[in-house]
């Protein structure tokens, strides 16, 4: 009797399992996902998109296929965001800074010296404040999945070593298309020029601009060392990337499909942060080997820059709202205390 019951139970649970597998399988439709990004294939961004694509294909039994399209071949960050909103493209990854025109709260991440290290960045971005800011995208037709690391930004230029604030005077500096960055670098005395990333290399090469700021990884993968002699270690702001989905398209997916994308996004995030950090650790030495002249700011000059830049804080707070500003400061303080 006991054996019979056991056999029956086993048979039943096999049936239930098969059933739920079938339900899940029916829940996954053949899909082509155009996933655009701005850096090239051999960048940390490109590597992580590849991991995302593999995870999605694996989890969907090959039904959901990710077409990874890099080097801004589908457009600049801003153009791709519009394509996602309109439903002409499914997914992308890009800087949160380029989203500020759509969702003003994203400007909180552009606060100079907001995070002292990546541990603080992870805690705040993956915590309730990061989620809250991400959720604001939904009203605008975008769904944010996860934050990836672009990294701490550093200054390069082709004119002269920047050892003190005054050395920034009159340097034509490309900034991201975002008012906080524009204000920040004007405050520092540079002649700030907003440009999309895809035009940056040529602009540096033709001396349309003298300098730019980006993490070491990007200076390396985009070969800026070929057209920029001087690198100043400023770490003036931590830049996140954000993986977004067209809400129009997302809303038509089954829960299973959404779950597959979310799960793959998290896996790609964990991979990306590790990969980016490992690369950043070696990148400065590589940039020196490529011929860049690197200098650090003296503690006194670094402080002057910090103080100068704190002048933009009030306008960021006004832009994102005092409540979010305070909540973010509290979340940073909490992360710092741990
Ligand atoms: C920049 C950003 C870039 C991103 C990328 C194209 O300087 O740091 O890394 O926008 O997605 O524009």
Mean pLDDT, residues 147-174? 97
If one counts every other C-beta atom within 10 angstroms of the C-beta of residue 317, the result is: 19
Tokens coding 66: 């990710």
Domain 29-104+111-150+240-281 has CATH 3.40.718.10: no
Provide the mean pLDDT of the chain. Answer: 94
- Please report the pLDDT score of residue 166 as a whole number: 95
Which residues surround ligand 1 with Cβ inside 6 Å? 38-39, 77, 94-95, 98, 150, 176, 197, 214, 218, 239
57 CA distance to ligand 1 centroid (A)? 27
Counting from 1 in the atom list of ligand 1, the atom nearest the Cα of 213 is 7
Q: Rounded to whole angstroms, how far apart are CA atoms 110 and 194?
A: 15
Question: Residue 333 pLDDT more than 80?
Answer: yes
Distances (CA, A) of 138 to 36, 131, 167: 19, 12, 42
Mean pLDDT, residues 163-183? 94
Query: What letters, b where the CB count within 10 A reaches 16 and e where it falls short, cover 18-48?
Result: eeeeeebeeebeebebbbbbbbeeebbbbbb
Counting from 1 in the atom list of ligand 1, the atom nearest the Cα of 215 is 8
Return the closest-CA partner of residue 229 out of 208, 211, 206, 209: 211
Question: Residue 175 pLDDT more than 60?
Answer: yes
- Please report the pLDDT score of residue 26 as a whole number: 78
Distances (CA, A) of 95 to 98, 107, 226: 6, 11, 24
36 CA distance to ligand 1 centroid (A)? 13
Q: Are 234 and 153 in contact (CB under 8 A)?
A: yes
13 CA distance to ligand 1 centroid (A)? 50
Which residues neighbour 74 within 8 Å (Cβ) at sequence distance 6 or greater? 34, 36, 80, 83, 89, 92
**What confidence category does residue 296 fall into, taking pLDDT thresholds of 50, 70 and 90?**
very high
The order of strands in the sheet holding 293-296 is: 191-194, 172-175, 211-214, 154-157, 230-233, 293-296
Place of tokens 């670094």: 302
Kindly report the protein residue whose alpha carbon is nearest to atom 1 of ligand 1: 197
Query: What letters, b where the CB count within 10 A reaches 16 and e where it falls short, cover 218-257?
Result: bbbbbebbebbebbbebbbbbbbbbbbbbbbbbeebeebb
- Outline where DSSP puts E strands in the chain: 31-37, 64-69, 91-95, 142-152, 154-157, 172-175, 191-194, 211-214, 230-233, 238-246, 293-296
Kindly report the protein residue whose alpha carbon is nearest to atom 11 of ligand 1: 94
Cα–Cα–Cα angle for 86, 42, 73, nearest 5°?
A: 30
Give the helix/strand (H/E) hosting 250: helix 247-250
Query: Which residue spans of the chain are classified as CATH 3.40.190.170?
Result: 29-104+111-150+240-281, 154-237+283-337
**What confidence category does residue 8 fall into, taking pLDDT thresholds of 50, 70 and 90?**
low
Question: Residue 16 pLDDT more than 60?
Answer: no
Question: What was the ipTM of the complex prediction?
Answer: 0.98
What pLDDT digit, counting tens, does each position of 195-254 carry? 999 999 999 999 999 999 999 999 999 999 999 999 999 999 999 999 999 999 999 999
154-237+283-337 CATH pick, 3.40.190.170, 2.40.50.100, 1.10.1660.10, 3.30.450.20: 3.40.190.170
**What confidence category does residue 19 fall into, taking pLDDT thresholds of 50, 70 and 90?**
very low
3-state secondary structure of 288: helix
Q: Rounded to whole angstroms, how far apart are CA atoms 234 and 154?
A: 5
94 CA distance to ligand 1 centroid (A)? 6
């Amino acid at each position: 009797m006991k054996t019979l019951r056991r056999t029956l139970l086993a048979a039943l649970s096999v049936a239930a399992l098969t059933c739920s597998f079938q339900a899940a399988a029916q829940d996954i439709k053949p899909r082509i996902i155009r996933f655009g990004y701005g850096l090239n294939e051999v960048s940390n961004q490109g590597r992580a998109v590849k991991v995302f694509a593999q995870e999605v294909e694996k989890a969907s039994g090959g039904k959901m296929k990710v077409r990874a399209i890099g080097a801004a071949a589908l457009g600049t960050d801003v153009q791709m965001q519009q394509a996602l909103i309109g439903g002409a493209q499914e997914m992308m990854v890009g800087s949160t800074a380029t989203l500020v025109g759509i969702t003003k709260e994203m400007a909180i991440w552009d606060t100079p010296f907001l995070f002292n290290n990546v541990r603080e960045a992870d805690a705040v971005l993956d915590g309730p404040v990061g989620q809250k800011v991400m959720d604001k995208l939904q009203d605008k037709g975008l769904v944010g999945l996860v934050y990836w690391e672009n990294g701490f930004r550093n200054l390069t230029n082709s004119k002269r070593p920047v050892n003190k604030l005054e050395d920034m005077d009159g340097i034509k500096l490309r900034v991201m298309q975002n008012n906080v960055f524009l204000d920040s670098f004007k405050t520092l005395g540079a002649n700030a020029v907003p440009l999309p990333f895809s035009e940056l290399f040529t602009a540096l090469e033709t001396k349309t601009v003298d300098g730019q700021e980006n993490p070491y990884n990007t200076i390396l993968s985009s070969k800026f060392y070929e057209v920029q002699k001087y690198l100043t270690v400023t770490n003036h702001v931590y830049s996140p990337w954000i993986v977004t989905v067209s809400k129009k398209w997302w809303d038509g997916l089954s829960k299973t499909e959404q779950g597959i994308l979310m799960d793959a996004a998290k896996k790609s995030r964990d991979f990306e942060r590790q990969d980016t950090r490992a690369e950043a650790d070696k990148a400065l030495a590589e940039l020196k080997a490529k011929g860049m002249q690197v200098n650090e700011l003296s503690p006194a000059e670094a402080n002057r820059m910090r103080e100068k830049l704190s002048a933009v804080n009030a306008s960021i707070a006004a832009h994102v709202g005092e409540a979010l500003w305070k909540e973010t400061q509290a979340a940073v303080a909490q992360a710092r205390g741990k």
